[in-house]
Structure 1
Amino acid sequence: MSGLTLVLLTVLMVAAGQMTQTLYVPAMAEMAADMRVSASRLSLVMACYLIPYGLFQFIYGPLSDRFGRRPVLLSGLLVYVLGSAVILYWATFPAVLIGSLIQGAGTAAAGSLCRSLMRDRFDGPDLVRYNGYVSMGIMLAPLLAPLIGGYLNQYFGWQSMYWFLLAVGLVITLIMVAFFRETLPPERRHMQPILPAYKYVLHNPSFRRQLGMLIAAFAGVILYEAVFSVVVSRQSELTSAEISILFILPLPLYFAGAMVASWKAASWSVRQLQWLSAMGLLIGAAVVLLSGFNGQISVAGLVLGGGLYFAGAGLLFPVATSKAVSPFPYHSGTAGALLGGCSNLGGGVFLLVQGGLPEMNQIVLGGLLLAFAGLVVWFLMPQEQALPATGL
């Protein structure tokens, strides 16, 4: 496979998971009413998806280092299809939660491998550049998903969204069977047990810092996605279609951040790119927070601040991922599993905790985003790991 083909297939393999995460966001109020639960409890759907999505990556990653990427990927996609079928068969709130758990357990395979496949083929600035391309492509699914979800919910009801996900999962599985070729040759596989492999990767202090930054930034992105619809719908008269349009407005700035990472990979140091991303996170969080102090929701502040935060995250994710997996040519599956698993597991656990907060409004959202951005800066502070002028 050429580099471009691998990027396209990598984007496609994670598309179902990315769409699952955001497709139902515009329909949260209608889903809650139909299933007779409070709208705030719908954040549990995303939590039930993210927690197994994170946990199972810890299994898929080392298995792919041992047996190869292709069998692990195809097995995960089939599990995802099963989860979509469970939701459609029962269509109750408990079934949605159980089906989301199964979906997350399935798409964890693609979530883990998308951080390993580029390392199988590239290193140095090329690794940052191609990870940037993957990050740009990955954002197409969550960019389109709320629009598709809003339309399907408005005209066909919320269950049609899961029929759509079932069809997408089946199509992607068939495409991978036909076109995806193994990227990890047998001579580069290892039989090291799972726990020693994780110990080996975590022993690297630079890896731990990149992991901390990714967890913090991702938690902010997930929080924004999970509560945006609830915060806006409570304090405005907007329809689900209008909310879906507002929801996706920040996403192109994530795309722009990833584009900067690809363009500047050969001329800027990783540290320079990461400080730029941290500034985007901080400024975006501050805009969300400060614009909410006028006593009522500021949709413009939410969208603008969210956009700046997403721009910082879009720049940080490919750069930090590349820096983290670069030292591990024989353990990239394990390293990728730690990055994806910890990020998504941390995001899911935080959503469970957030669901217990007495109130979620724009000020609380902005304050939490600012705390996550501050954590990214904290992980960037050590100077002894500064990188050379360019490259990894």
Structure 2
Amino acid sequence: MSGLSLVLLTVLMVASGQMTQTLYVPAMGDMAAALGVTSQALPLVMAFYLIPYGLFQFVYGPLSDRFGRRPVLLAGLSVYVLGSALILAWPSYIVLLLGSFIQGAGTAAAGSLCRSLMRDKFEGTDLVRYNGYVSMGIMLAPLLAPLIGGWLNLRFGWQSMYLFLFAMGLAITLVMVFFFRETLPAARRHAQPMLPAYRYVLHDAGFRRQLGMLIATFAGVILYEAVFSVLVAAQSGLSSAEISVLFILPLPLYFAGAMMASWKAGSWSVRRLQWLAGAGLLAGAVIVLGTAFDPRLAVAGLVLGGSLYFAGAGLLFPVATSRAVAPFPQHSGTAGALLGGSSNLGGGLFLLVQGGLPQMNQLVLGGLLLACAGLVVWFLLPGSEAVPEPGI
């Protein structure tokens, strides 16, 4: 497969997972009413999706290093389709949580392998560049998902969103069956047991630092996505379709951040790119927090602050991912699983902790985003480790 073909297939295989994460966000209020639960219960759906999405990546990654990428990917996508079918068959809140868990367990294969496939084919500056392309492509799904979800919910009800996910998951599985070719030749596979493989990767201090930055950044992104519609609905009274438009406004800035990572990979150092990303994260968090004190600026502050935070995340994700997996050509599945699994598991657990807070408002959201951005800067502060310049 050519580099462009691999990027397109990688974006496609991750699309179902990205859609699942944000499709229903504008419809949370309507879903809560239809299912007979409070609006505060709906972020748990995302948590029940993200926790297995993170946990099962720890399994899929090493398995793909041993048996190849293709069989692991096809098995995971099939499990995702099963979870979507379950939600359609028995529409209730409990089954929604269970089906979301199964969906996350299945699409974790794509989430893990999207990092490994690029490492299978590219190295150095090309690895950063193509990871940037993948990040840009992946953002098309969450950019479209809220608009599609808001429209489907208004026209046909919340179950139609899961019918859409079922059909899309089935279609993607079939495309992968016919068009995806193995990227890890048998000669490059290894049968190292799972725990020693993880110890080998985690022994690298640079990997641990990149992992910490990715976990902290993703926790802020997923928290913003989970509570945005609830906060905007409470402060503005907008419909789900109108909220979906506001929800996607920060996403093009993520796209711009990933684009900058691709364009500047050959001329800027990793450290310079990551400090710029950290500045974007901090600025976004401060704006969300600062505008929480004035109701007239609250919604605008949520959108503008979220946009800057997403720009920082879009820049950080491909750079940190490339820097983390670069030293591990024989363990890229394991390294990718650690990156994706830890980030998504951490994000899911973060949502569970947030659900236990007495209240969630813009002030709390801004404070938590600031904490996440501060952690990224903290991981960037050590200067003793040599970071190749430019690129990886």
Do these two structures clear the TM 0.5 threshold for a shared fold by scoring above it?
A: yes
- The answer as to whether partners of 1:35 and 1:92 remain within 8 angstroms in 2 is yes
Q: Which residue of 2 aligns with 1:389?
A: 389
- The answer as to whether partners of 1:271 and 1:386 remain within 8 angstroms in 2 is no
- The answer as to whether partners of 1:232 and 1:297 remain within 8 angstroms in 2 is no
Matches within 5 A, 1:163-182: 163-182=163-182
Q: Secondary structure at the match of 1:238?
A: coil
Q: Distance in 2 between matches of 1:388 and 1:137?
A: 27
Q: Which residue of 2 aligns with 1:7?
A: 7
Q: Secondary structure at the match of 1:114?
A: helix
- The answer as to whether partners of 2:235 and 2:299 remain within 8 angstroms in 1 is no
How many residues end up aligned between the 2 structures? 392
CA apart distance, 1:385: 1.6
Q: Which residue of 2 aligns with 1:93?
A: 93
CA apart distance, 1:358: 0.8
- The answer as to whether partners of 1:216 and 1:373 remain within 8 angstroms in 2 is yes
Can you list the C-alpha shifts for 1:352-383, whole angstroms capped at 9, x where unaligned?
11001111111110110000000000000110
- The answer as to whether partners of 2:52 and 2:104 remain within 8 angstroms in 1 is yes
CA apart distance, 1:298: 1.2
- Which of 10-19 and 234-243 deviates more? 234-243
Matches within 5 A, 1:308-347: 308-347=308-347
CA apart distance, 1:294: 1.7
Q: Distance in 1 between matches of 2:296 and 2:270?
A: 40
Q: Secondary structure at the match of 1:387?
A: coil
Q: Which residue of 2 aligns with 1:277?
A: 277
Q: What is the letter of the counterpart of residue 218 of structure 1? A: F
Q: Distance in 2 between matches of 1:238 and 1:378?
A: 38
Q: Which residue of 1 aligns with 2:132?
A: 132
- The answer as to whether partners of 2:285 and 2:309 remain within 8 angstroms in 1 is yes
Q: Which residue of 1 aligns with 2:141?
A: 141
Q: Secondary structure at the match of 1:181?
A: coil
Q: Distance in 2 between matches of 1:237 and 1:138?
A: 31
Can you list the C-alpha shifts for 1:284-322, whole angstroms capped at 9, x where unaligned?
000000011125661111000000000000000000000
Q: Which residue of 2 aligns with 1:54?
A: 54
Can you list the C-alpha shifts for 1:140-170, whole angstroms capped at 9, x where unaligned?
0000000000000000000000000000000
Q: Which runs of 5+ in 1 are unaligned?
A: none
Q: Which residue of 1 aligns with 2:30?
A: 30
Structure-2-length-normalised TM-score: 0.99
- The answer as to whether partners of 1:297 and 1:362 remain within 8 angstroms in 2 is no
Alpha carbons of structure 1 residues 230 and 297: separation in structure 2 relative to 1, 3 Å: farther
Does residue 1:113 correspond to 2:113, yes or no? yes
- The answer as to whether partners of 1:26 and 1:229 remain within 8 angstroms in 2 is yes
CA apart distance, 1:84: 0.2
Q: Distance in 2 between matches of 1:295 and 1:19?
A: 31
Q: Secondary structure at the match of 1:184?
A: coil
Does residue 1:210 correspond to 2:210, yes or no? yes
Q: Secondary structure at the match of 1:235?
A: helix
Q: Secondary structure at the match of 2:84?
A: helix
Q: Distance in 2 between matches of 1:151 and 1:297?
A: 27
Q: Secondary structure at the match of 2:42?
A: helix
Q: Distance in 2 between matches of 1:372 and 1:19?
A: 24
Q: Distance in 1 between matches of 2:293 and 2:205?
A: 40
Q: Distance in 1 between matches of 2:132 and 2:391?
A: 14
CA apart distance, 1:386: 3.8
Q: Distance in 2 between matches of 1:120 and 1:373?
A: 31
Q: Which residue of 2 aligns with 1:63?
A: 63
- The answer as to whether partners of 2:26 and 2:240 remain within 8 angstroms in 1 is yes
Q: Distance in 2 between matches of 1:239 and 1:217?
A: 29
Q: Distance in 1 between matches of 2:109 and 2:165?
A: 17
Q: Which residue of 2 aligns with 1:287?
A: 287
The alignment's C-alpha RMSD in Å is: 0.7
Q: Which runs of 5+ in 2 are unaligned?
A: none
Can you list the C-alpha shifts for 1:252-289, whole angstroms capped at 9, x where unaligned?
00000000000000000000000000000000000000
Matches within 5 A, 1:371-386: 371-386=371-386
Does residue 1:238 correspond to 2:238, yes or no? yes
Q: Which residue of 2 aligns with 1:196?
A: 196
Can you list the C-alpha shifts for 1:19-61, whole angstroms capped at 9, x where unaligned?
0000000110000001110001100000000000000000000
- The answer as to whether partners of 1:267 and 1:390 remain within 8 angstroms in 2 is yes
Q: Which residue of 1 aligns with 2:364?
A: 364
Q: What is the letter of the counterpart of residue 250 of structure 2? A: P
